[in-house]
Amino acid sequence: MRKLKYLSVLSLPVCVWISFQSTGILTFLPALYLFGVIPFFELILRVDSQNLSEQENTLAKKDSFYSVLLYLMLPIQFGFLVYFLFHIQEAQTTSDLIGRISSMGLMCGVLGINIGHELGHRSNRFERFIGELLLLSSLENHFLPYHNRGHHTNVGTKSDPATARRNEWLYVFWFRSQIGSYFQAWKIEFTRMKIMKKHMFNYENKMLQYSILHSIFLGSIYTYFGLVVLIYFLFAATIGILLLETVNYIEHYGLYRQKRENGNYETVKRKHSWNSNHVIGRVVLFELSRHSDHHFKADRPYQLMETSEDSPVMPTGYPGMMLLSFIPPIFFMVMNKHVNKALQ
């Protein structure tokens, strides 16, 4: 029965469907759920710091349920996206329009980018392909080459645009991380082509492939639905991207690796990422909040993620910390003392 808890991710599509079918305040239900209901209950519910036993770990590793659940998010995500494209112009008020666009945007972030990230670490090409399609729904495919071969290498250093600096405002970080990661992704692919002794714009260049794919995707939306719907989709995709960058912000805020005398940085350890063992956020985000373990062993499937004593812990769950980050002075006041403790 332990595995059935991950079905709670379906609570978000349910909220989004209610948003699409409603007017008024209910069009903002997904946002109220993610940034209101979940943070509230994570403040009052007990955290779960237990790891799987050796036997449970072996069974979970072999159980196809966990991967099939991720695969099912692909038709759900694109089903909602197609419905959004067909019906978004039916919103009768500006408030309803904003609510439904934000709801689709949260789907793009939680189902599109987050699950695309999980599958992007898999060795199986089929699974990585599903991850690429999910990332397409937010136009965030450059995330894969940058994240896997840039972020995981440079995390906790000034070379990594997705490592938030101490006292850096979230709204500055959004631009620095997204723009920096995009150009790093191109650099990574150019370097890969050079090692393969191929032209930098060879068809095997992933960033070239993604750029063409995005152009076809956006062109198709424009052709079949028109400019207005295309703009609405771009707003939704942007919300998904900003959700990703807000998660990036809290995951490594203020944590840096020490530089050795030889000029190299210390090995990435669990202490270089923020953890949270608050249950609701963990399962809705497929254990993303056990982030220290993710950087310690990037290809470990989400159901096997562990927590350890040397992982720095945030005062509440990821949704609550994201909400707090929207008010930088308060976020700094809360988190800087935790940063000081983590760096001791």
Q: What is the mean pLDDT of residues 174-203?
A: 96
Q: What is the mean pLDDT of residues 185-207?
A: 96
Please check the confidence at residue 145 and state whether its pLDDT lies above 70.
yes
Sign for the CA dihedral angle at 202, 208, 213, 215 comes to negative
Predicted confidence at residue 125, as pLDDT, reads: 94
Predicted confidence at residue 1, as pLDDT, reads: 61
Share above pLDDT 70 across residues of the chain, in percent, rounded to a whole number:
100
Please check the confidence at residue 297 and state whether its pLDDT lies above 90.
no
Please check the confidence at residue 178 and state whether its pLDDT lies above 70.
yes
* Of residues 161, 182, 183, the one with CA closest to residue 172: 161
pLDDT band of residue 284 (cuts 50, 70, 90) is very high
Predicted confidence at residue 218, as pLDDT, reads: 98
Residue 55: CB partners within 8 Å, gap ≥ 6? Answer: none
Share above pLDDT 90 across residues of the chain, in percent, rounded to a whole number:
83
With respect to residue 225, please indicate whether it lies within any of the assigned structural domains. no
Kindly state the greatest CA–CA separation across the chain.
Answer: 63
With respect to residue 258, please indicate whether it lies within any of the assigned structural domains. yes
Q: What is the mean pLDDT of residues 38-54?
A: 90
Please check the confidence at residue 292 and state whether its pLDDT lies above 90.
no
What stretches of the chain adopt beta strand conformation (E)?
none
pLDDT in tens, 88-116: 999 989 999 999 999 999 999 999 999 99
With respect to residue 219, please indicate whether it lies within any of the assigned structural domains. no
Residue with tokens 């009768």: 92
Q: What is the mean pLDDT of residues 222-237?
A: 98
Residue 172: CB partners within 8 Å, gap ≥ 6? Answer: none
Predicted confidence at residue 332, as pLDDT, reads: 97
253 vs 155: CA distance, rounded Å: 11
37 vs 280: CA distance, rounded Å: 10
Predicted confidence at residue 286, as pLDDT, reads: 92
Look up the domain containing 85 and give its range: 2-191+233-342
Predicted confidence at residue 271, as pLDDT, reads: 87
Q: What is the mean pLDDT of residues 236-240?
A: 98
Please, what is the average pLDDT of the chain? 94
pLDDT in tens, 307-340: 888 889 999 999 999 999 999 999 999 999 999 9
pLDDT band of residue 49 (cuts 50, 70, 90) is confident
With respect to residue 226, please indicate whether it lies within any of the assigned structural domains. no
Predicted confidence at residue 232, as pLDDT, reads: 98
120 vs 126: CA distance, rounded Å: 10
Please check the confidence at residue 263 and state whether its pLDDT lies above 80.
no
Phi-psi label, residue 313: left if phi above 0, alpha if psi -120 to 50, beta otherwise: beta
Predicted confidence at residue 41, as pLDDT, reads: 95
Please check the confidence at residue 146 and state whether its pLDDT lies above 90.
yes
With respect to residue 198, please indicate whether it lies within any of the assigned structural domains. no
Instruction: Give the predicted TM-score (pTM) of the model.
Output: 0.95
pLDDT in tens, 12-28: 999 999 999 999 999 99
With respect to residue 206, please indicate whether it lies within any of the assigned structural domains. no
Domain count, the chain: 1
In angstroms, how far is CA 241 from the centroid of its own chain? 8
282 vs 305: CA distance, rounded Å: 10
With respect to residue 158, please indicate whether it lies within any of the assigned structural domains. yes
105 vs 109: CA distance, rounded Å: 6
With respect to residue 246, please indicate whether it lies within any of the assigned structural domains. yes
